[in-house]
């Protein structure tokens, strides 16, 4: 089961939108895309998930391409507290609840 592919690191200016890409070309029909982030030394935190439609919550927006092979997490107005490692994970939404983490994208917000 191939993991997702993300850039190793990205920078974003404070106050701008941070767009984090993820490639999941091997995603199957029953797999969702989940995003978690891990702020330094803390446990990961759930951000958002989606299947095929775009999703938005109080933390972020998730844009999934029509073929579902890639997605983009958008933090609309990045703050310094958004500096973290962001993980894109594909998983089934039923049955076994395991998460398989890759190495993620280290996002640094620049003041």
Partner 1 sequence: DAGITQSPRYKITETGRQVTLMCHQTWSHSYMFWYRQDLGHGLRLIYYSAAADITDKGEVPDGYVVSRSKTENFPLTLESATRSQTSVYFCASSDLLGRGYNEQFFGPGTRLTVL
Which residues lie near partner 1 (CB under 8 A)? 32, 34, 36, 41-46, 49, 87, 91, 93-94, 96-104
**Measured on CA atoms in the order 40, 43, 49, 55, is the torsion positive or negative?**
negative
Closest separation between CB of residue 15 and partner 1, Å?
28
Structure tokens at 100: 């398989």
Residue 103: which region, alpha, beta or left (left: phi > 0; alpha: psi -120 to 50)?
A: alpha
Return the number of the residue (43 or 111) whose C-beta is nearest partner 1. 43
Cβ closest to partner 1, residue 46 vs residue 80 = 46
Shortest distance in whole angstroms from residue 3 CB to partner 1: 9
Which H or E run includes 50? Answer: strand 45-50
Q: Which is nearer to partner 1, 14 or 55 (CB)?
A: 55
CB of 82 to partner 1, least distance (A): 18
Tell me how far apart the alpha carbons of residues 82 and 26 are, in angstroms, rounded to a whole number.
29
């Amino acid at each position: 089961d191939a993991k997702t592919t993300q850039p190793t690191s990205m920078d974003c200016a404070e106050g701008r939108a941070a767009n984090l890409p993820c490639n999941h070309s091997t995603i199957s029909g029953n797999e969702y895309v989940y995003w978690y982030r891990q702020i330094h030394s803390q446990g990961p935190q759930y951000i958002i998930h989606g299947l095929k439609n775009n999703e938005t919550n109080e933390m972020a927006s998730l844009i999934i391409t029509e073929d579902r092979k890639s997605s983009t997490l958008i933090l609309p107005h990045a703050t310094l507290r958004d500096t973290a490692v962001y993980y894109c994970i594909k998983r089934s939404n039923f049955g076994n609840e395991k998460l398989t983490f890759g190495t993620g994208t280290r996002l640094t917000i620049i003041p």
